[in-house]
Copies of this chain bind each other. A is one copy, B any other.
Amino acid sequence: MKQNQNILIIGAGLCGSLLALRLAQRGYNVNVYESRPDLRVTDISAGRSINLALSDRGFKALRLAGVENKAREICIPMKGRLMHDTQGNTFTSNYSGRDNEFINSISRGDLNGMLLTEADKYDNLTIHFNTECESVDLDTNIVHFVNRKTKKKFKVEADVIFGTDGAGSELRKSYFLQRKFLFSFSQNFLTHGYKELEIPAAAEGSHQISKDYLHIWPRGEYMLIALPNLDGSFTVTLFLGHEEGEYNFKDLDSEDKIKAFFQEQFPDALALIPNIAEEFENNPTGPLGTIKCSPWYYKGNTLILGDAAHAVVPFYGQGMNASFEDVAVLDGIIDKHEGNWETIFKTYESVRKADADAIGELAEENYYEMRDHVANPIFKKKRQLEIQLEKHFPEQYFSKYSMVTFNENIGYHEAMTKGRAQDKAILNMIADNEINLNDDLSVLLKIVQEKTNDIIDDDNIAKTMHH
């Protein structure tokens, strides 16, 4: 029965290859079509960030497919943040008050390659490279492709089609353009963009700065970050306004200007990036966009997952984790309704949509928190209090960041709702001098919990008006 069902997956990126692996493990006949060449044999940059932060939601999904340990082997644990000021001074900022909570730097290419190699082990799974999807005919369930090498066009019919083809998804475009149903859609771009640079490895292949941290140079209107790679290098990302602000990508159009900007704002980073002007010119300036849409499925025929359904900005380090979690959530629903794809897709969206929307919002918000990390004294006090609460009440207190990043059994929407209320409670009590941070921690915990619950209750009463 299952073997008779032909599953077609568009896109063999991180989400598509994990989905393919999982569906092959379930016994389906799976064909995956990827527009790019095989990244294990061709040196390609996917045009997207080179390394990513892998955390607990991602691991949970990888575990389901039996590849968690293979992923851990290529991870570099980042135990905390290391903040750099304009004088080159550094200080650490933990992710949580619990010792075992950290995130991991991982190469997108290495992780994707591992998943493809695992997928290759299944006879009922075939990956076709250099085949670019041009559109999906929703009426006939036929996908139109072009072979990127031969330029030949061809089409494939399938029983079920999954679109894991990223933020520029062709399946999503077909939803938008074919107007078979009312399709709610949004793309929201920040006024800031990003550019990747490189801190090369030291001569002997070691890291020039500590590889045990996510490095951050927060500067309010802009920000630099660096994540370690296994080869000793760091991938550095500059987040900066496209056209606005005192400094912006448009104005930084000469070697002198670029170096002067880095010398003033990121002198210690500048000393480690030898080819900065060249890289600045050659590497593209990327947009920072959030995509939301609904419905994600059409009948029992097609479904979009991952960035295709909900691309997010990178500031919570959750884009990949959310995409992997999609696969795990879908898998749990297939367990219950196997054989009825329309019910599976409908249930999946009803369960998953609020969480996908929430991580999109959280990621946009977190940009302000990251780049203003050191500036605001009230934020600092709040962070100190939360770290202490987590340290002393590890089973009872979880900051918003901890709920989002380390609590894979809480949905993003719940983490957002509770996390925002906690933030609001603590910030207001500090601002209004309603709490004494030197009080006993168990007293402080109780006050924060009560105030948080009050805020949630008040919001719920107000919300009955709008729902």
Contacts and interface: CB of A to CB of B under 8 A. Distances in A.
Contacts of A365: 465-466
A63 B282 CA distance: 56
B187 A185 contact: yes
A419 B292 CA distance: 28
A365 to B, nearest CB: 4
Given A182-B287, A182-B289, A242-B182, A462 B424 contact: yes
A368 interface: yes
Interface in A298-355: none
Contacts of A289: 182
B427 A466 contact: no
A459 B183 CA distance: 33
Interface string A273-299: 000000000000001010010000000
A68 to B, nearest CB: 33
A154 interface: no
B186 A420 contact: no
Interface in A396-443: 420, 423-424, 427-428, 431
A369 interface: yes
B186 A465 contact: no
B423 A465 contact: yes
The oligomer's copy count stands at 2
A462 B428 contact: yes
A423 B186 contact: no
A292 B185 CA distance: 11
Interface string A146-183: 00000000000000000000000000000000000011
Nearest to A191: B182
Nearest to A290: B184
B188 A424 contact: no
Contacts of A458: 424, 428
B186 A368 contact: no
A243 to B, nearest CB: 10
A467 interface: yes
A376 interface: yes
A459 B188 CA distance: 24
A404 to B, nearest CB: 14
B368 A467 contact: yes
Interface of A: 182-189, 242, 287, 289, 292, 365, 368-369, 376, 378-379, 420, 423-424, 427-428, 431, 458-459, 461-462, 464-467
